[in-house]
Structure 1
Amino acid sequence: MQASHHDIAVREKNSWASVAIIVGSGVVLALQVGKASIAAPLLRADMGLDLAAIGWLTAVIAVLGMLGGMPAGSLVAARGDRRVFLAGLGASALGAALGAAAPGYGWLLACRMLEGLGFLLVVVAGPALLQRVVATGQRDLAFALWSCFMPTGIALAMLLGPLFSSWRTLWWGSAALSLAAAGAVLLLPPSTRGAWRGWRDTGRDALATLRGREPLLLAAGFGLYSLQFFALFNFLPILLTERMGMPLQVAGLLAAAATAANIAGNLCAGFLMDRGVARWALVACGCVVMGLAGSGVFLSVLPDAGSFALCVLFSAAGGLIPATLLATAPRAAPSPARVPLVVGLMMQGNNLGQVVGPAAVGGVIQAHGWPAAAGIAGAAGVLALGVALGLRRSGR
């Protein structure tokens, strides 16, 4: 009996070591996304890029995710989660290395597309890999940890980016990190290749996923969360410097701190799900607080310190949503083989929100001023509440 308990303890230890490798790899890929924003001054000085060109270096990754989520899920189902995860890390490393040697903007943008492909593959394969290596009773917490990879990576990019004197050095360093992550992933249990049934059956699975009520609700929820989060946080440094008059260095630290609050929300969601709190209630709580806090920030209903506190509250409460939705994906899939398709659909919603949110808020602010953006924040919160109620009717 003691040996049995010992074996169980060893398996659990190995399981959480695998989770650390998978989540750490996701953080490395999120850092790849965030490095373009923090390197913007260096890129402008070296290549003479305008803000629109800088914006595309980040937006191209979201556009790829918006279009390729479900195809990437089909690839995971056909080729195996670890293989696709490793391919994503390899593409990211290659894109960063080629980008570091880019002679001009066109080359750099093409390399960012390759990095974006790597990011997409890792993001879609990661949940499938977690589902395979983690015991059923530990999955909610594991998915909560996984959902932290994006804010953690972006916060690290904001903190580490200024330490580099050249954007090319930053790109080389990020390539090395992706290669190191790939080496760690090789330690994970290999995946067996999925039973490839041809494109017709794969297409049938994709259509069945699109017709499912719960997968569409999860995708809509992720899209609305992403719309709200990036609509505010893309403009947070500008809000801190222009509206609150803070120096750029202080604004960067505060933006990183507010982003890190999202991590706490993700972990809190895992803790609460593990204790039986209804998933729809967590999503409802997150979207209501995001809608109210986001509207308060744009309307400047509080002094500067209070507005920043609302940003932190917005970020922390928002963290409840992605962790809950990702942990619900395996339950919403009709079969284990379709989990990557559900996750891919969710990532398409997520990236659609990343593209639409900042564009809509930026246009509204430009035309009507900061307070007008409160309408977008409030409307997205109401729609997300509708998603939460839909999950309640589905028994989640």
Structure 2
Amino acid sequence: MPNANLRPTQWLAVLTVLLAGVSMAMHVGKVPPAAAQVSTDLGMSLVAVGWLLSLFALLGAATGSFVGRLVDRLGQKRTLLFGLSCTVLGSLAGAFAQATPLLLATRALEGIGFVSVVVAAPALIFRECQAKDHRLAFGLWSTWMPVGAAFMMALSPTLLMLFGWRANWLVASALTLAALVLSLLLISPDAALQAQRPRGRLRDLVKLPTPWILAACFCFYSMSFQTVFGFLPSYLVQEQALDPALAARLTALALLLNVVGNLSAGPLIRLGMARWQVIFMAALAMGLCAWGIFADELPLAARYGLCLLFSAMGGLIPAAIFIAAPAFAPTPAHVGTIGGMIVQGLSIGQLAGPPTLAFLVHRVGSWGAAPYFISTLALICLLLALALKRQERLR
């Protein structure tokens, strides 16, 4: 779908949207390193800690498509500002929470903001860019999660040691507040709301195969990625006897390598690779790397090197999906809705991946189940890439 935007690409607006996304990823990444301290400080049960960790993914899985429809109906900037405001308020309130119910309530408010921002952001980038800049802009956008999560994971050991878990909440809210102010100043206003809104945008999309293919591909990619990097810190500490702070920083470095793939997808597509080929190549590499990552006979350095490769190659997939989404949206009015479906797929994968692997490892009694699980997810992504190939030929 061509973009009707005749203005020059508003790169300051694009970078502001990226900052908003990075700040959202920091709110995702602030909890896992701090979970033990939070549990001790507030006397949280294991179940409550689980809710604290999973609320973002749960809200995204439940509301992604609905929020995408709201983005198209209410306006991209309005939704972004609403989401940033909710997240700032929720995180600030959470930093001063003295009881588990209040902390969970503030986390839910943050989660509403998170879903609003990450669904509105791609539609805003589409609006602020000329078509010739889509590959670069969406490649940049796809870095939001690894950059924010890696930054927070690297910073957390120092913050936790010097100030305690509440500092994680305050630092993340400060960056989100900065993104909110810059968004107010640098992003152009939404167009005047029409008196009569087009109906059935989500209904239009659910009849098409491509949005489902893209959302499913993101689901199985995020399931695989979250499975490896959700367990990597504890695996390095428990199985390899590394210091927890070192394990956190090694995981942060591996997460950051995802950016290499994010930024490489656009140039590969510009050089002639089809979007489905980029996804196919990345999924194949991830599936093969999984066998080495969990191979006990390999030295730790080799296995960690494969984690770096897994992350770098995996980064091609979200970038290719974000680049493809506007091209397969029937009209500009559908971009937010298709983005919501993709975020819903991402969240379902994040929610389902780690518990599924934990169940398999428990049943088998070793990490030997992990490569079978991850390579199966990669195989599904390969099949989805072939399905996308067919849709690209039909366009």
Q: Is the structural similarity TM-score above 0.5? A: yes
- In the alignment, is residue 66 of structure 1 matched against residue 61 of structure 2? yes
Instruction: Give ranges in structure 2 of 5+ residues lacking alignment.
Output: 1-5
Which segment drifts farther, 99-108 or 277-286?
99-108
Once residues 267 and 30 of structure 1 are traced to their aligned partners in structure 2, the CA distance between those partners, rounded to angstroms, is: 18
Q: What TM-score do the two structures reach when normalised by structure 1?
A: 0.93
Correspondence 1:1-396 to 2 at 5 A? 11-12=8-9, 15-164=10-159, 165-186=163-184, 187-195=186-194, 197=196, 202=199, 204-300=200-296, 302-368=298-364, 369-395=366-392
Instruction: Answer yes or no: is the 8 Å Cα contact 2:295–2:303 preserved in 1.
Output: no
- Contact conserved, 1:124 with 1:343, CA < 8 A, in 2? yes
The CA deviation at 1:64 is 0.3
Q: Which TM-score applies when normalising by structure 2?
A: 0.93
Rounded to whole Å, the distance in 2 between the matches of 1:55 and 1:323 is 29
Q: Deviations over 1:66-87 (max 9, x none)?
A: 0111111111111110110011
Q: Which amino acid aligns with 1:97?
A: L
- Identify unmatched segments of 5+ residues in structure 1: 1-7
Worse-matched range after superposition: 280-289 or 264-273: 264-273
**Match of 2:257, as an amino acid?**
A
Runs of 4+ in 1 over 6 A off after TM superposition: none
Q: Rate the CA distance shift 1:336–1:160 in 2: closer, same or farther, 3 A.
A: same
- In 2, Cα distance between the equivalents of 1:263 and 1:383? 23
Between the two proteins, the alignment pairs up a number of residues equal to 383
Taking only aligned residues, the RMSD between alpha carbons, in angstroms, comes to: 1.7
**What CA distance in whole angstroms lies between the structure 2 residues aligned with 1:301 and 1:347?**
38
Given the superposition, is the C-alpha separation of residues 300 and 209 from structure 1 closer, same or farther in structure 2, using an over 3 Å criterion?
farther
> What is the deviation of 1:178?
1.5
What corresponds to 1:5 in structure 2? none
Output the CA distance in 2 between the equivalents of 1:82 and 1:48.
39
Alignment deviations for residues 99-137 of structure 1 (CA, whole Å, 9 cap, x no partner): 112121111111111101111000000001000111110
Distance 1:281 1:197 in 2: 41
